[in-house]
Amino acid sequence: MKQKLVVLTGAGMSAESGISTFRDSGGLWEQYRVEDVATIEGYIRNPKLVIDFYNQRRRELQTVKPCRGHELLAELEQDYDVTIVTQNVDNLHERAGSTKVVHLHGELMKATSSRNPNDPSQIITLDSDHLDIHQGDKAKDGSQLRPFIVWFGEAVPEIERAAELASEADIFVVIGTSLNVYPAAGLIQFVNRDTPIYLIDPKPVKWQTSHPHTVIQKGASEGVAEMIEKLKSKSST
């Protein structure tokens, strides 16, 4: 039976693909206020601004491709039972070939009901021929279609599933996230004490813990490659 490898990915995972991050210098939060484009209040106040913001993010997504780090995680499925738990709303993990991906913060390429955003029957998948949501586009329940994104202040429907996955992991990996955004950052607390943890990020990750862990201070692609080598060396001893 394959070992269960659970990977938590954040914005740094997709940064190498050219996806704009929110928190870094020059990131999206310097161009837009969080309150305006990533809260339900902002959406109610100015739905056109919010819909157009995510339409633009969707167009941007069409111009990029998975980085080598995404591909390496997908290739790990040959030797491990891999589940990706991502804070990212892009589909780069899926495009790289990963078959089990849990999206904590929603999916950019999907739209849903403004009235019942987490009702599976209301969620539709957009494609390259129909990228944009327009004002007046209706969900099945008759409400305005909105981006299928978990905004600040909204419940995170997949967090319990993610916590269960973390508790079952034989190996837990964190890539490209500051461990500052909750509830996702709290997932690491569900990892069993004897489960090895790998932290991959080019910047120092401020995580105060006595849990044994390995820090790989590199970007996603280089960091995942180094982690794979470490896993290989451990399995051969």
Please list the active-site residues: 105
Distance of CA 197 to the CA centre of its chain: 18
Q: Are 163 and 190 in contact (CB under 8 A)?
A: yes
Name 130's bridge partners. Answer: 127
